Amino acid sequence: MLVESCLPEGTVEIGESKDRWTLSEDPDDQKDSLWIWGLFSEPLYPFMLLALTLTEPVQLPGGETIPAGKLFLQGEHRRDPDADTLLGAGTVVFKVPEELKADAIGLSDFTYDEPVPCGSFKFLPGQK
């Protein structure tokens, strides 16, 4: 994915992203892989998942702050019979790592990345 510009300027890493976008049937179940025939008929994967990198924290009008780092976007992916595949609106989250115990006696633990909603986005229609 190529990021050409952002507002406010300088908050999103500009240029070609090292992250990959994926199509998903269920974003909460990441065992899915791209079903190639979904590109040629009604997509079985109605979600597009991608990530962007914030280069600096962003202060929201309500006083909250989105920390620098990865933002995760989950948007709509569908096919219009009279057009190409359409990418629609979606949600934006950042993830906060949380240490949790994996067993009752505390012998093992793991890190869970708690998703925190922080906004929405919309793909702009392409130009011909």
Q: Quick check: 1 and 17 in contact, CB under 8 A?
A: yes
* Count of structural domains within the chain: 1
Write the pLDDT tens digit of every residue in 34-65: 455 455 555 567 788 888 888 889 888 888 88
CA pair distance 97, 114, nearest whole angstrom: 6
Q: How confident is the model at residue 15 (pLDDT cuts 50, 70, 90)?
A: confident
DSSP code for 12: B
Task: Please tell me the predicted confidence (pLDDT) of residue 3.
Answer: 81
Q: How confident is the model at residue 125 (pLDDT cuts 50, 70, 90)?
A: low
Write the pLDDT tens digit of every residue in 71-121: 998 888 777 667 677 778 899 999 998 888 877 777 788 888 899 998 888
Task: Record the pTM.
Answer: 0.70
Q: Does any domain span residue 70?
A: yes
CA pair distance 52, 73, nearest whole angstrom: 8
Q: Does any domain span residue 126?
A: no
Q: Does any domain span residue 102?
A: yes
Structural domain for 80, as ranges: 2-121
